[in-house]
Amino acid sequence: MQQLSRAQEHGAAVWSAAALLCDMDGTLVDSARAIEQVWTELAVRHDLPCSEVLAALPGRTARDILRLFLDDVRVIEEEAARVERSQLAAPGVGPIPGAHRLLSGLPANRWAVVTAAPGAVARARLAAAGLPEPKVLVTAESVTSGKPSPEGYRLAAERLGLPCERCVVLEDAAVGVAAGRAAGARVIGIGPGGQGADAVVSDLLSFTGLEFTGEGIRWRLGEER
């Protein structure tokens, strides 16, 4: 199988890769309501502009977000811990359409999750969405620099034993798209936040005809724009 090849088959682009490296929130898991609730409460507590706080969320760790708005290191650490506790209990988490089908068709050593969420939150959200926990889970604690740094995606590929250049990243946020590109991977954007990727689709239902050949994964990608 040609690495990262694309061709036209029955009107849909055919992609192939050694593995998929997936963002979590907004890509595999619909957690928008839970995240918005937690960060709106924080903005109110600190009299911060709610719209600006929410706009800063996609792809960033809690500490990176807090550093944009707060200066006191002690307060940042206290709020980061509070945000994590709140997110563990926040309701309204479910799968992105097509997530179950996609992940169930992948061998465990051919996909990973790379998220800005803490490990406990990531595992809780995947479980709440009814999705499997990946063999390789790169979380906020796993890296020294969050997205748009490529560190997380490079680490995920390394743990899978594969070069990042042979992987495809799935992302729903601009900082994540930038991270995937910087890591040397091709990127498929999920939803409107994935603009700037090599292809953009509305959700994971656009992945069809998934096959594993022993060398890698092959699929058709619809709704490309």
pLDDT bin (cut points 50, 70, 90) of residue 11 is: low
pLDDT for the residue 112: 98
Per-residue DSSP letters for 167-188? EEEEESSHHHHHHHHHTT-EEE
Catalytic, out of 23, 30, 172, 198:
23
Nearest residue to 170 (alpha-carbon basis) of 191, 150, 154: 191
What is the H or E stretch that residue 44 is in? helix 32-45
Whole-model pTM?
A: 0.82
Mean pLDDT of 177-187: 98
User: Could you tell me the two tokens for 98?
Assistant: 């097509």
How many CA atoms lie less than 13 Å away from 29 in the CB half-sphere? 28
Can you tell me the distance from the alpha carbon of 8 to that of 14, in angstroms, rounded to the nearest whole number? 6
pLDDT band at residue 2 using 50, 70 and 90 as cut-offs? very low
Residue 171's closest CA among 6, 28, 8? Answer: 28
Distance between CA atoms of residues 131 and 66, nearest Å: 29
Alpha-carbon gap, residue 167 to 216, rounded angstroms: 9
As a whole number of angstroms, the distance between CA 12 and CA 173 comes to 24
Q: What is the pLDDT of residues 121-140, one digit of tens each?
A: 999 999 999 999 999 999 99
Match domain 6-30+93-221 to its CATH number in 3.40.50.1000, 2.40.50.140, 3.30.70.1340, 3.40.50.11540: 3.40.50.1000
**Active-site residue, selected from the candidate residues 25, 30, 172, 198:** 25
Helix-, strand-, coil-residue percentages of the chain, each rounded to 5: 40, 20, 35
* Active site (annotated) includes residue 198: no
Could you tell me the residue ranges of all domains in the chain?
A: 6-30+93-221, 32-89
30 part of the active site: no
